[in-house]
Structures are given as C-alpha cells and as structure tokens.
C-alpha cells in the first residue's frame, strides 16, 4: 500500500455534507461521496502495489457505498488514476468481503472525474467497489470513514479476508435506478416498459374504446297506406226490355269498409248523334256493397240511350268503375242486345 499526500489547489470542501441522501426505492438514488466535489487539498490517497479492490466498510450516512434498495446500477463516477476498471458488487461480514457479481471491463472517461455507463443489478445491503490496477490511486482519506483492502482481484462467489486501510475509502459514486420488473434494466434510462420484464421497448398500448354519448338518431320510414282492395264490376247484361243494364259489383271480403263508387257505361266507339259522331254515355249509377257481397248495380237507360240499342245486335261499350277510395278502371265489353219481343 502506498500512502502519500497529494497537492491540491482546490478549495476545501466537505464532500460528506453535500452527498445525496438515499431516496425512496421508486426513484433513482446515488450512493457514495459526491465525486464532483474535489477532495480537500493535500488529501492523502492510496494506491496498491498490486491490483486490489478498496472497500468502504463504514462511512457517514450519504457517503457509504451501500445500496439502500434493490435496483440496477446504471452509471458510475469516480476519481482515480486509471481509466480501465470493473465494477464489483460485494458484501461485508466482519473483515471479510464476499464478491457477488462483476460488471464487464469498462473504460471510463478521462479527466478528474471519470465515469462510465453500467448495467449491473444490486440488492439492498450490497456494496459497490471498483477494481484498481497496481500503483494507481483511487482511495482518498475521508473524515469519518473506514476502508479495507482486498489485495487481489477475486472471482465472484468467493469470500476474501481484507486488510485495514484506515480512513481511506474508494472515491466512487454509483447511480442506482429502480428495476420494478427485475429484468436487469434500470427503469429510468434503460427500460421503457418497467412493468414488463420481457421487453425494454415502449409498452404495447391496448386500444381503448371510448363511447361518446350523442343524440339518438331516429329514422322515420314513410310507407304508403295500404290501399284496400277495390270493387270489381262483373259482366254487364241488358234487361230484356232494354230499359236498363245490370252490372254485378263484387266487393272483396277482405275490405275493412263497404265498397262505394260509380259505374258508368258509354259506347266504345263514336256513334252518329245528329250531325256529329261522339262516344255517348248510356248511363251511370252509384253503388254501395258490403265486403264479401255482390249486389247488382242497375243502370237505367234513357230513351236516347235506348235508341242506340238495336235489338238483336251487339254493342261495344266501355264499362267504367270509379271506386270512392281507389283508382278508376275501365274495360271494353260487348253487349248482346235482346231481340224485340213479340
């Protein structure tokens, strides 16, 4: 062990007083002395004759290199004469040091404050140490601290005896981030999905269906009112005395109301009336029939109409039926005209 005062030009500052106080386990916590604050000038330093691991055994609260909670070490800062090192996670018992896990070989940044990124789990109560090569100082004498040395570089899962180092401790600080899903990645800078140990990428977001209340749309369907089945005119027949034409009116039984309307008969062709030829209406009559009945509508013929009926002949007529509640219909019929009696 080499111990020597080192000339310092920095202002006197107490690192312990400004060290961070451990915070709750749900946020990152930095342990160890605040290495950004230069140690007092003429602070003695320690370097090992051979490669070694300086260990902080006791230190004031806020300076000790002991994890207050489980997490992952994501960054390390230290002051020392060497850039290449390894992070060691240890436990102490009495003067023994048990080596638990080791980070990969790291090359820290140059400068008074060296740093490197890390990803190494640590459990509450475990301590942090750095491997130091031979003849390279890394331990500083800090008031109120007690350090010890493991004068070799032990493998993990071994317990080593340590030698006293007095008030010298490694000038190291480590940032511990929570690791809720225990995937070995710090939840603040290394793990974008701290609730899922199978991924460090952003969590998959399940779609959320949001129902927004709005006006109720009522569709109004307009349908035509059902047209009741209309009456149908039967075959017209001329009375033997040729004074009337009878027409059966068939009122469908499915009708909800009686059939009413008008039946009219006109000549189908123009006939000569005086000096002109016109279609002549022979007569018409109104009717009313109960649903399911077939009454006979009788159209009385005037003397003028009778004159158009030549006994024993045929006369083409247009039979028109105009229901009160439906469209009019008409059709052509041929009347057989009775012969003259006697």
Footprint of Ca ion on this chain (CB under 5 A)?
179, 181, 183, 185, 187, 191, 194
CB of 183 to Ca ion, least distance (A): 4
Residue with tokens 């990428």: 201
CB of 178 to Ca ion, least distance (A): 8
CB of 191 to Ca ion, least distance (A): 4
Closest-CB residue for Ca ion?
Answer: 191
User: In terms of CB distance, is 147 or 194 closer to Ca ion?
Assistant: 194
Cβ partners under 8 Å of residue 196, min gap 6: 181, 203
User: In terms of CB distance, is 39 or 194 closer to Ca ion?
Assistant: 194
User: In terms of CB distance, is 131 or 187 closer to Ca ion?
Assistant: 187
User: In terms of CB distance, is 8 or 123 closer to Ca ion?
Assistant: 123
CB of 127 to Ca ion, least distance (A): 22
CB of 198 to Ca ion, least distance (A): 11
Cα 130 to Cα 67: distance, rounded to the nearest angstrom = 15
Cα 317 to Cα 265: distance, rounded to the nearest angstrom = 6
**267's tokens:** 């000549």
State the Cα angle at 49 between 120 and 96, rounded to 5°: 50
CB of 217 to Ca ion, least distance (A): 49
**15's tokens:** 């690192």
User: In terms of CB distance, is 62 or 194 closer to Ca ion?
Assistant: 194
Closest by Cα among 45, 197, 233 to 132: 45
CB–CB of 72/122 below 8 Å? Answer: yes
User: In terms of CB distance, is 74 or 160 closer to Ca ion?
Assistant: 74
Closest by Cα among 129, 120, 100 to 179: 120
CB of 177 to Ca ion, least distance (A): 8
Query: Which burial class, exposed, middle or buried, applies to 111 when counting CB atoms under 10 A from its CB (0-12, 13-18, 19+)?
Result: exposed
User: In terms of CB distance, is 117 or 328 closer to Ca ion?
Assistant: 117
CB of 163 to Ca ion, least distance (A): 38
CB–CB of 32/128 below 8 Å? Answer: yes
Closest by Cα among 166, 83, 174 to 121: 174
User: In terms of CB distance, is 29 or 53 closer to Ca ion?
Assistant: 29
Name the CA radius of gyration of the chain, rounded: 58
List Cα–Cα distances, 214 to 210, 211, 217, in angstroms. Answer: 12, 9, 9
């Amino acid at each position: 062990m080499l111990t020597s005062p080192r000339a310092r030009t920095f202002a006197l500052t107490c690192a312990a007083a400004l060290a961070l106080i451990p915070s709750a386990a749900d946020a990152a916590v930095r342990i160890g002395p605040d290495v950004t604050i230069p140690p007092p000038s003429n602070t003695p330093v320690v370097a090992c004759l051979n490669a070694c691991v300086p260990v902080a055994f006791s230190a004031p609260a806020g300076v000790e290199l002991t994890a207050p909670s489980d997490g992952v070490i994501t960054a390390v800062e230290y002051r020392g004469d060497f850039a290449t090192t390894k992070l060691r996670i240890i436990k102490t018992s009495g003067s023994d040091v048990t080596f638990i896990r080791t980070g990969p070989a790291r090359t820290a940044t140059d400068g008074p404050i060296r740093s490197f990124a890390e990803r190494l789990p640590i459990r509450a109560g475990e301590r942090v140490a750095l491997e130091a090569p031979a003849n390279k100082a890394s331990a500083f004498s800090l008031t109120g601290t007690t350090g010890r040395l493991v004068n070799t570089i032990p493998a993990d899962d071994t317990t080593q005896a340590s030698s006293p180092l007095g008030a010298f401790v490694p000038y190291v600080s480590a940032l511990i981030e929570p690791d809720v899903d225990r995937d070995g990645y710090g939840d603040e800078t290394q793990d974008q999905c701290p609730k899922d140990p199978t991924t460090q990428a952003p969590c998959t977001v399940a779609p959320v269906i949001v129902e927004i209340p709005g006006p109720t749309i009522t569709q109004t369907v307009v349908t035509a009112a059902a047209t009741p089945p209309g009456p149908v005119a039967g075959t017209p027949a001329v009375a033997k005395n040729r004074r009337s034409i009878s027409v059966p009116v068939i009122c469908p039984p499915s009708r909800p109301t009686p059939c009413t309307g008008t039946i009219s008969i006109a000549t189908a062709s123009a006939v000569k009336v005086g000096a002109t030829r016109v279609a002549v209406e022979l007569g018409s009559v109104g009717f009313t029939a109960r649903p399911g009945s077939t009454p006979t509508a009788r159209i009385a013929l005037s003397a003028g109409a009778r004159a158009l009926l030549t006994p024993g002949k045929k006369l083409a007529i247009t039979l028109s039926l105009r229901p009160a509640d439906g469209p009019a219909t008409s059709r052509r019929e041929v009347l057989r005209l009775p012969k003259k009696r006697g």
